[in-house]
Structure 1
Amino acid sequence: MNHYIYIISNKKNGTLYVGETGNIKNRSSQHKRKVHPSTFSARYNLDKLMYFEVVDSKELGLKREKQLKKWNRAWKIRIIEEKNPEWIDLSSDWDLSFEMMGIKI
């Protein structure tokens, strides 16, 4: 089963958050709706999906999430800008988003 590692922000070059999920569309919607109001993402209004990648299992997803969380800010910005240089909210058009990330659906 696919799992997704993602980076959300509040704006271009804004605060960044790295997460992992089995359902990227649902998780993105939860961030937008601030389903969990006491979380870091809700406090900083992080609701724009800037980057995501797909792995084959939850185990690989958690491993990759931990790896990205250890990265410095410049490295995270670099991977966002390689695929999404305009910092478009990828959750606004899923077909385009998967295409931009190089993922076949």
Structure 2
Amino acid sequence: MGGHVYILASRPYGTLYVGVTSDLSRRVWEHREGMGSLFCRKYGVHRLVYYEEFDDITLAIHREKRLKHYPRRWKINLIEAMNPTWADFYETWNC
């Protein structure tokens, strides 16, 4: 079973959240509906600004753990390499 690592943001250069899931569209929907993490609810973090897809969920979990330890600037660089305008990919996600 595959999975995704994703980064949500409250706004461009705002609060960031790194997560992992086997169903990206469902999980981001949960965050947007306030059923995600308490952290995301508290800080209004619900814009999908970055994601990576993996064939194996264990690889996604490993990547999530590594990303969480990277400095904020590195995460911003990662987001901007994929998404320079900080667009909300959930708006165009075709699931």
Between the two proteins, the alignment pairs up a number of residues equal to 95
Q: In structure 2, how many angstroms separate the alpha carbons of the residues matched to 1:9 and 1:63?
A: 21
Q: Aligned partners of 1:33 and 1:71: how far apart in 2? A: 28
Q: Which residues in structure 2 correspond to 1:1-105 (within 5 Å)? A: 1-36=1-36, 39-95=38-94
Higher relative contact order (CA 8 A, sep 6+): 2
Give distance in 2, aligned partners of 1:86 and 1:59. Answer: 30
* Alpha-carbon separation, structure 2, partners of 1:76 and 1:54: 17
State the alpha-carbon separation in 1 of the partners of residues 2 and 86 from structure 2.
Answer: 24
Q: 2-side partners of 1:91 and 1:51: how far apart?
A: 10
Structure 2: stretches of 5+ with no match in the other structure: none
Report the aligned-residue RMSD: 1.4
Give the match for residue 100 of structure 1: none
Q: What TM-score, normalized by structure 2, do the two folds share?
A: 0.95
In structure 1, stretches of 5+ residues that fail to align are: 96-104
